[in-house]
Structure 1
Amino acid sequence: MFRLLLLLLAGLSWTGSAQAQSAQTAYAGGSPVVLTIPVTASVGGRCGFVDGALPSGSFNKDNFDQTGFSAQFDFSLNCTGPSRVAVSSSNGGLMTGAAAPTGYRNKADYQVSLLLLANNGTKAEATCAASTLASGGTCGFAGKASTTQGLQLASAAVNQPGSYVRISAPAQSTSSSVLVAGSYSDVLTITVSPAL
């Protein structure tokens, strides 16, 4: 809070040149007249991704059921205070439109890891299965980022590189069911918000 004191000036006299200025204060009834005006202001949090360093890209992997996969998508935060980042999955895993007969499946889960890095070197990180990132998912950073939703980074990250989303999956087990042949896909959406 700023406190601004204003003195009521009356009968101001000025003598001398611009280099030697003096002012006198007049008093009403022999005592000073003091006005206090409290001045308060605030600056809202600004938070987003750095232009040119957005979390974007694509990844293609043939025969992922046999070899697994891993890919990382780097991004930079531009948040003047605490922030939250959230991730949502459109399919809750890699999915194909092909029907899955008995003994087969048409959806494969995978892991999504999120790491956020602040200017002071602190970080926040967590990993969830893509199946918990679909609408209504139970992952702590699932959904759309808000002041209370998403993985929280407690410090500012102004033009800070080093954050990433990493996706990974091992070779798929065939002990219970086999993935049906087809093209599998999913879309991850990453959002950021100032945090409370």
Structure 2
Amino acid sequence: MPLYFGHSAKDMKGSDTPLVQVEDRDALGELIRGMHAGTYPRGAVVEAPPQFDVWSAFADVHVFVQAAGGLVIDEKGRLLAIRRLGKWDLPKGKVEKGEAIDEGAVREVQEECGLKEVELVELVTSTWHTYERKGKAYLKRTDWFLMRSSSKERLVAQSEEDIEEVRWLDAAGVRMMELDTYPSLLPVLHAWRARTA
């Protein structure tokens, strides 16, 4: 469920996305409770007055998690994808304390897919999402990097991370993936497609 934050959010409003006025921290708390209760299944556009930094207030009530992942292509232009818990996904994970974000992205790709040689190219996009675990609310930022690797390397799924399969996907495979992945990955795949087209 996407949330869009702004001080004049009317221009961001989609036809089926409700506009929610948030004047202070109490109203923000109501929004967050509604978000977790499923009140906004299509997301919400959050509008706040200029004197209220709604994004900082939202971040303050969550534990921040920095993650990084890879949009890895091979010499044929295919995208590396993983199947985790029955859904197609991209290799990613938490950045370790003291680790550079781009180094964490490469490490996660290597660990989750069994690759040894991975070339980092550039940052493509960043995504944010929230989740709850053991009564705590988390706000995760994932930085997505374009990478290159060889299809000659043997792919090995990291089973301890619940990865069932690792596969190189051609254009038709990526379209299939888009039908069976998390909604938060769709903008990442679109950004990758725009960079590699």
TM-score per shorter chain, which class?
under 0.3
Query: Which of the two has higher C-alpha Rg?
Result: 1
Give the TM-score normalised by structure 1. 0.24
Tell me which protein shows more helix as a share of its residues. Answer: 2
For CA contacts below 8 A with separation 6 or more, give which structure has more relative contact order: 1
Tell me which protein shows more strand as a share of its residues. Answer: 1
